[in-house]
Structure 1
Amino acid sequence: MKNIKWETLDRLRTSFEEFETQERYIYIPVINLAYYPAEPYRSNYYGIGLLEEGEITFYIDLTEYTIQGPAIIFADTTSIKRWDKTRRTYEMTTILFAEDFLQDKLVENNVLASFSDLSSLGGCVTQLNQEEFESFRAMFKVIDLHSNSSNSYYTEVIRGIVYSMVNEVAHLYEKYGNATKSLHKLALRFREAVGKYCKEHRSVQYYADYLHVHPKYLSQVISAETGLTASEWIQNQVVLEAKILLQDQTLSIGAITEILHFSDQSTFGKYFKKYSSITPSTYRHNL
């Protein structure tokens, strides 16, 4: 599991050989977090997981979610994911799929892109009532029944079910929002901006100017909404991006310094150590 910057369907397919896997999707009837990296990672696939029982803790970007079943979890390709592997008391059914798996239906309706814009957090986590839970369970049951099917149209059946799930998740997001409290619109816009631009810009002033607000007001809102100052949020996001890059052994620390727009390697090393307590080299060595 070392040296992983991006988690891919191709790599996971070798781990999930016992499950139903195709070129553009993997159906996992029973989740096993041992297959996933211990460190933060991005993925080249979308995921929908139905948490049937128990409790699970995970992170989408810098937001922590602790959710109890029944619940639905959606994660897209833009977010940084991390799972708490210490919890084992849960049951979850999952399907992972490439964006082009939905083909024309995705192009026609642009569901995933619209959904990502709505959430601004790279995913959605929503508690389900019994009726909603049964609806998702029925859809996963259809996928399960068509796993390894001799029906020549089974891929189209599964594609249709995934498309329906995406629409249902989008509806639930509009209905309930995320499992965490609703955030101030300014906080959402700030978090989205930091996710996009933190490699180039690390000052609160830049984001205040970008959002057309006073830096002091921005910091007050972010602190009230997240418990972190605007500066701390930026610092944490930069360190998270650095950790993702450090997992790619083909990138030298000097190259990472340039990607993150630090003036030199020493400055990057001091910044990383200040906010993560270890040096970039030590972090990479411990992977």
Structure 2
Amino acid sequence: MKEVEQKLIYNTLREQYISLDLPTDSIDAQSEFTIHNLKDIHNQLPYKSPVYRTNFFSFVFVKEGAGQYTTDEQVFVTVPGTIYFTNPGHFKSFEWRILEEVYLITLSEAFLKENVHADIFEEFPFLLAETVAPRVLPLDQFAEFETLYQLILKEYTGGSPYRNKMIGNLFVVLLLKIKDYFWNDYNPIYEGNRSSYIVKTFKQTLEKHFRDLSKGLVDKPLRVQDYADAQNLHPNYLSNVIKTKTGKSISTWITEKTITEAKSLLQNSSVSVKEIAFLLGFSESTHFSNYFKKYTQVSPVAYRKQHTST
């Protein structure tokens, strides 16, 4: 096992596995969605990962396995029947002692919005939760999830041109099952300490504002001061909490959200690049094009062509 002392951050699962000297044969280099059995990855047990952060969502389904995972210094045991998920920004690590059938699904925010639900965090607010304990289901309930993730696996390994849309529709059902079984009594007030609540409220405000921007309901991005005012906090205090808890500054969160929304509009609408620029708060379309290319290495026009020809 490769010893890694520093705390790492990964944008994709493939990037993470390469860094940790784990096999990547089953990981699609171009996909923002992955699913596989962890038994195929970890040939030597027990396995203990370094502490790391990710910029993607992870869902774990433990049919037959045992270990534990740690997120933001909270330790949770995983046993058969366990289901849990983590979202971007947290320090985490995991250990496995037994691995027979444990499926991991990872997906980006962009994939969620483009293929699962356009207003994903409004429909499924638990995805923004700071730290959520795993749930252990009885066999009959776990079997319902197993049917779904096996269908998702079948589509993932198939060659259909509609693969992502079919995965997205199946994943909607999976999220609805989670919402039904786990989160009917979800209440952010009971979620954790003060800083966790601040982070979650910031994420919700960010998400709502960009949704309003893309619909033309507001015409300019919020500043750090605006996010602080929304929670009656000093901007320096809010900035420190967000940076400490998520590993990313508020400006980075805003940049990533801007790019995600731009990609979604370019791929899923016929709105012109100029109109998209104005919707996202840019005064000039040239400024938007330069901004988009800086963070994606392609122009908005080229991105639209790449993603509407498939």
TM > 0.5 fold call: yes
Aligned residue for 2:152, secondary structure, equals: helix
Q: Distance in 1 between matches of 2:145 and 2:191?
A: 31
Unaligned runs of 5+ in 1: 197-209, 212-237, 246-287
Structure 1, 38-47 or 162-171: larger mean CA deviation:
162-171
Q: CA deviation at 1:34?
A: 7.8
Tell me if structure 2 keeps the 8 A contact 1:73–1:126.
yes
Q: Distance in 1 between matches of 2:158 and 2:53?
A: 31
Q: CA deviation at 1:49?
A: 1.1
Q: Distance in 2 between matches of 1:16 and 1:154?
A: 24
Tell me if structure 2 keeps the 8 A contact 1:111–1:167.
no
Unaligned runs of 5+ in 2: 201-230, 233-240, 249-310
Map of 1:25 onto structure 2: 33
Normalized against structure 1, the TM-score is what? 0.56
Q: CA deviation at 1:157?
A: 1.1
Q: Distance in 2 between matches of 1:20 and 1:124?
A: 27
Map of 1:93 onto structure 2: 103
| Post-superposition CA distance 1:96-121 (Å, at most 9, x none) | 1111112244332425871144x431
Map of 2:181 onto structure 1: 172
Tell me if structure 1 keeps the 8 A contact 2:124–2:179.
no
Q: CA deviation at 1:151?
A: 1.8
Distance 1:83 1:103, change over 3 A: same
Q: Distance in 1 between matches of 2:94 and 2:80?
A: 16
Runs of 4+ in 1 over 6 A off after TM superposition: 34-37
Structure 2 residue corresponding to 1:81, chosen from 78, 92, 95: 92
Aligned residue for 1:74, secondary structure, equals: strand
Aligned residue for 2:70, secondary structure, equals: strand
Q: Within 5 Å, which residues of 2 pair with 1:168-247?
A: 168-175=177-184, 185=189, 188-190=192-194, 192=196
Map of 1:45 onto structure 2: 56
Q: Distance in 2 between matches of 1:161 and 1:55?
A: 27
Q: Distance in 2 between matches of 1:151 and 1:101?
A: 17
Q: Distance in 2 between matches of 1:90 and 1:194?
A: 39
Normalized against structure 2, the TM-score is what? 0.52
Map of 1:158 onto structure 2: 167
| Post-superposition CA distance 1:146-195 (Å, at most 9, x none) | 23312221221112222322232233332587xxxx99x57813351587
Q: CA deviation at 1:18?
A: 2.2
Superposed CA RMSD in Å reads: 3.7
Distance 1:193 1:158, change over 3 A: closer
Q: CA deviation at 1:44?
A: 0.9
